[in-house]
Amino acid sequence: MKENKMDRMKELVEQLSQAAYAYEQEDREVMTNREYDALYDELKQLEEETGTILSGSVTQKVGYEITSSLPKVTHSKRMLSLDKTKEVSKLKAFLGNEEGLLSWKLDGLTIVCTYEGGKLVSAVTRGNGTVGEEITNNARTFKNLPLTIDEKERLILRGEAIITYADFAKINEGISEADGKYKNPRNLCSGSVRQLNPQITAKRNVRLYAFTLVEGGPDFETKEEQLNWLNRKGFQTVEYRKVTASNVEEAVEYFSKAIDKQEFASDGLVLTYNNRRYSASLGETAKFPKDSIAFKWKDEIVETKLVNIEWNTSRTGLINPVAIFEPVDIEGTTVERASVHNLSILEELKLGIGDRITVYKANMIIPQIAENLTKSNHIEIPEICPVCGAPTEIKQDKQTKTLVCSNSNCKAQRLRAFAHFTTRDAMNIEGLSEATIEKFLERDYLEDFTSLYHLAQYEAEIIEMEGLGKKSFTKLMNSIEKSRDVAIANFIYALGISQVGLGTAKLICKHFNNDLEAMMEAAEEELTAIDGVGPVIAEEFAKYFSLEANKSMVNHLKNELSFKVETNVVLSDSKIANKTFVVTGDVTHFKNRKELQAKIESLGGKVTGSVSKNTDYLINNDSESSSSKNKKAKELGIPILTEEAFLSLIE
């Protein structure tokens, strides 16, 4: 019996870890909140029954793993998750004879702000609870966060960064393509706060609501006094109600009715003891502080009938199913559609037109399907993209199955495609931001990449566009003209072929002696014969040129360009000539990883994206990292070099 429970626990750990990573790192959902909570509770129950906690269990994790290129900062005090309940009776039991504060649990991104000498000197995301990402420059653009305060002593506070519904709607209104719109304020906020460009953060109107003082300030007796003091210092604090066991139910009722009138998303409430000394005396578990608990809303579930499944191609090429059902009233609003997210969830629900389904609002906000009562299971998966008509593909990423459009030149993906085409490592066209590209697409100035080289015909119209003008137009035209002279590897990379980075493009171009025609006609077998090009890359490359629309576009485009032939002179005594490298992690001796890659290639080495038996060296300054590349290198006995070791090698 215990063996069966252990097998189920392993399965749950894998499922929940993937779902948490997708939601917290990639801002996408592979299962509904309701499903996640149910599986989480099941895992927690099994851990209690067996007395065993498996490695990697989400019940022991308190945040996302850091994978971005933002600087990493270790928190002075570890940030823990909160235990949770959906029962008011548990809130009463938690309070006992103590007084508490009940406040919104805001659905955004937790930030730790540090002030010294009255100035904001640091802002760090929660991260994994121990190490977060440093986002100080972005925090300085938050709409309501004081940059200076009249408190000269060191002060550390925690708050939740959010984007209001009004600002969320305004940002989405500026996006013409329905499938390019952001799904919810939380995802938009997460991406905005962790931007590498503070100018983008500033445009998103991010706000911060303080909810606790970690260090500094007077030695107040209560949490309420702390919050009031922060208010007086200029911080916007989270709304709260002072409660006891006798009136906490009434306070929960107040918040549940008030949520529809709030300007922000909330995924529940937080109850914490008001007496600070009592709170401090309780300590904490490995994951939870003992002085606070989260209350999650009970979902209002309504039965209805599924009438259709719409398929929407997003700007990333994913074709997402959306359930259309007979309108129902939930939490005071009429609901008639809900995202099904991906094929895995569609198949798990066994949906069919006419099925009786139950629906709810996750966190009283986002419509979701709770259950399929009839499970007829007869939804047909589209074989062609609803936007461009190209063949669709079903892709399996571990346990998540998705439907994608095979054509990276699909109209739904054009904003993303043009944005990539113009980047520095691609065609290097300056002055063409995503916002400008979007304006051109809306006006039908851009059909495919070739039309970039004919924008001059719209000179009068472009000059009159907001944010442009004669000077910007001239600068853009000069940059476009300059891009006509391009290395063929950069051109191949610019096409945006799935899995084909600049390093891979260089390998392919070198193999075919920069012969574009030969590359366009290459079969998968010939491509896989290239050292550093695996079967997945070969399949994607060959598939791209198998589409007549792509071939035609490239043939027209090459008439606009002049391909530079780059001849790399490799020193005969180079110690890394023909050696294959993989580069991962942060670098310090080079400006970035691309500069390090260029150095390797200038000495005759090759750089690929993944570790395999053909890899000679992995460069990673953190040789003890638990990353998948480090693990693979150690399994295969491949040397892991720091930058210093690499520099010694080439010298």
Q: What's the CA gap between 49 and 195, in Å, rounded?
A: 43
Single-letter code of the amino acid located at 488:
I
Strand order in the sheet with 356-362: 333-339, 319-330, 302-313, 356-362, 366-372
Amino acid at 9: M
Residue 25 token pair = 């790192």
Q: Report how far apart, in Å, the C-alpha atoms of 548 and of each of 289, 310, 315, 539, 543 are.
A: 60, 27, 21, 16, 10
Closest CA to 608 of 545, 534, 524, 522: 534
Q: Give the rounded distance of the alpha carbon of 477 from its chain centre.
A: 34
Q: Which residues lie closer than 8 Å to 633 by C-beta, 6 or more apart?
A: 582, 611, 615, 618, 639, 640
Contact criterion met (CB below 8 Å) for 419 and 494: no
Q: Is 609 helix (H, G, I), strand (E, B) or coil?
A: coil
Contact 392, 403 (CB under 8 A): yes
Beta strands in 9-52 (DSSP E): none
The reply, when asked if residue 101 is annotated as ligand binding, is no
At a CB cut-off of 8 Å and minimum separation 6, what does 245 contact? 92, 95, 96, 97
Question: In Å, what is the CA distance from 470 to each residue of 445, 454, 459, 637?
Answer: 17, 17, 9, 59
Q: Which two tokens stand for residue 541?
A: 């490359």
The C-alpha atoms of residue 473 and residue 458 are separated, in whole angstroms, by 10
Q: How far is CA 616 from the centre of its chain?
A: 32
Enzyme catalytic residues: 105
* 509 assigned to a ligand binding site: no
Neighbours of 142 (CB within 10 A): 27
Q: How many CA atoms lie within 13 A of 438 on its CB side?
A: 16
495 is in an annotated binding site: no
- Order of all β-strands in the sheet with 100-106: 84-85, 292-295, 266-273, 100-106, 240-243
Instruction: Check residue 220 and report its DSSP letter.
Output: -
Interatomic CA distance for residues 553 and 494, integer angstroms: 13
Is-contact 103 239, C-beta < 8 A? yes
Enclosing H/E stretch for 345: helix 343-349
Tokens read off for 487:
């290395």
Q: Are strands 155-162 and 207-215 parallel, antiparallel or unpaired?
A: antiparallel
To the question of whether residue 388 is assigned a binding role by annotation, the answer is yes
Radius of gyration of the chain (CA): 27
Hey, which bits of 190-243 come out as E strands? 207-215, 240-243
Is 627 annotated as contributing to ligand binding? no
81 among annotated binding-site residues: yes
Residue-wise over 71-89: b if at least 16 C-beta within 10 A, else e?
eebebeeebbbbbbbeebe
Q: What is the DSSP letter of 589?
A: S
**Residue 126 marked ligand-binding:** yes
The residues, ordered by sequence, that sit 6+ positions from 569 with a Cβ below 8 Å of its Cβ are none
Do 190 and 201 form a contact (C-beta atoms < 8 A)?
Answer: no
How far is C-alpha 574 from the chain's CA centre? 40
Extract the annotated binding site for NAD(+).
Answer: 81-82, 126, 160, 296
Extract the annotated binding site for Zn(2+).
Answer: 385, 388, 405, 410
Extract the annotated binding site.
Answer: 81-82, 126, 160, 296, 385, 388, 405, 410
